[in-house]
Amino acid sequence: MPDTSQNFTVNTSINGKLGRTGTLRTPHGEIQTPAFIPVGTKATVKAVLPETVRDLGAQAVLANAYHLYLQPGADIVDEAGGLGQFMNWSGPTFTDSGGFQVLSMGAGFKKVLAMEVSQAKPEDIRAHQRERLAHVDDDGVMFKSHIDGSKHRFTPEVSMRIQHQLGADIIFAFDELTTLVDTREYQEGSVERTHAWAQRCLDEHERQTGERSHRPYQALFGVVQGAQYEDLRRKAARGLTELRSFDGRPFDGYGIGGALEKHQLGTIVQWVNEELPDETPKHMLGISEPDDLFVAIENGADTFDCVSPSRVARNGAIYLPTGRVNMDKARYKRDFNPIDDTCDCYTCAHYTRAYLHHLYKSKELLGSTLATIHNERFIVRLVDRIRDSIDGGYFADLRSEVLGTYYGA
């Protein structure tokens, strides 16, 4: 088993805060943190070439174990040489465990985890009267494929075997995702279940690493759950730090997961990172809004992934320094200005708002491509600027400038 103790280095810290810059080393290159990781759910960031994702500044991509397991199959990706080789991406790769997708089939979770209890809908609540595609027990999850209705079972061991076949540089332990409207009693049981699954993931990861020594080492991140409860979040984080594989190896890093209230995001990230080792990387699952990024980074999160930039792009929404706008609105029909004259992306260098408006109204696929390039670049570049501001000592000034302009404060 290789020594991975030096795979993450902290560079510059925010004075008096948990936030920092760092360097995360993987077999396929370094990631300068903080960093935003675009989501390529099915081994593709929807509507754009992998080469384009590289050109817009992304340092890594994240794919989904659940979707790739169902189609084309983890064995196919393995035979191709792993996720990066399969999708022609030469840089670092992440895969999530599949837990979010498996469990969301039965609970109606949104794809963005920062939410509000007051906005919860009936479908967010676990209900006996509603047919669910996923059923949880202490051993794992039984679920039906959203593609053809076939039945499958994920356990910690199955998730680890799938993610080893997919071959990403950074993989995540299988965890149970809950909603904010689950009862306190259920949340307590879920934290215990996720802890037990984490131990099984460590052990299976150790076995798979030994059996697949022809492949580069994959870093395994444990995932902290606990919803909005401070004691559960801290307990879950401490518990993960104490776990070791049967050969004595701890987690290589940690993910902060689960649905959480947006206004509590920074507080929850702080609780967790006060318990986790400083010298390990922390990944925040499922955020990309500018205010969320500043808050999470200030409180110690290093990397992030979210489908939102590409998903909203396909629906006509564009990120601008002054906020998010819908480019399919009539006021852009004769607007021959660049999408964003402060942006250095391919779309903004070559196309106008009027042209993008035309593509949306005509339902042309190119609209999704051009908008996705811009939105992904907007968020990648924002996090790059935040990283530079930490190194340069002007994080607070940048936060005030960016958020004041974006939200009109």
Catalytic residues: 96, 305
Q: 347, 375 in Cβ contact below 8 A?
A: no
The sheet that has 93-96: what strands, in order across it? 35-38, 303-306, 282-285, 253-256, 219-224, 170-172, 93-96, 61-64
One-character DSSP codes across 141-209: EEEE-TTT--EEEE-HHHHHHHHHHHT-SEEE-------TTS-HHHHHHHHHHHHHHHHHHHHHHHHHH
Q: With H, G, I as helix, E, B as strand and everything else as coil, classify residue 236.
A: helix
Would you say 306 is a known binding-site residue? no
Would you say 225 is a known binding-site residue? yes
Would you say 258 is a known binding-site residue? yes
Phi, psi of 146 (to 5 degrees): -75, -10
Q: Which token pair is 32?
A: 């300068």
Nearest to 316 by CA among 245, 374, 269: 374
Would you say 97 is a known binding-site residue? yes
Would you say 22 is a known binding-site residue? no
Would you say 348 is a known binding-site residue? yes
Nearest to 66 by CA among 92, 103, 29, 34: 103
**From the CB of residue 242, how many other CB atoms can be counted at a distance below 10 Å?**
9
Cα–Cα distance between 87 and 168 in angstroms, integer? 12
Q: Which token pair is 267?
A: 């507080």
Give the H/E segment covering residue 291.
Answer: helix 290-298
Nearest to 14 by CA among 22, 25, 6: 22
Burial class of residue 65, CB neighbours in 10 A (0-12, 13-18, 19+): buried
Would you say 374 is a known binding-site residue? yes
Whose tokens are 């080789």? That residue is 85
Cα–Cα distance between 303 and 387 in angstroms, integer? 11
Whose tokens are 């307990």? That residue is 235
Cα–Cα distance between 133 and 171 in angstroms, integer? 24
Q: Which token pair is 161?
A: 């075997």
Supply the Cα-derived Rg of the chain in whole angstroms: 21
Would you say 99 is a known binding-site residue? yes
Would you say 343 is a known binding-site residue? yes
Would you say 104 is a known binding-site residue? no
Residues forming the annotated binding site for substrate?
96-100, 175, 225, 258
Residues forming the annotated binding site?
96-100, 175, 225, 258, 343, 345, 348, 374
Residues forming the annotated binding site for Zn(2+)?
343, 345, 348, 374
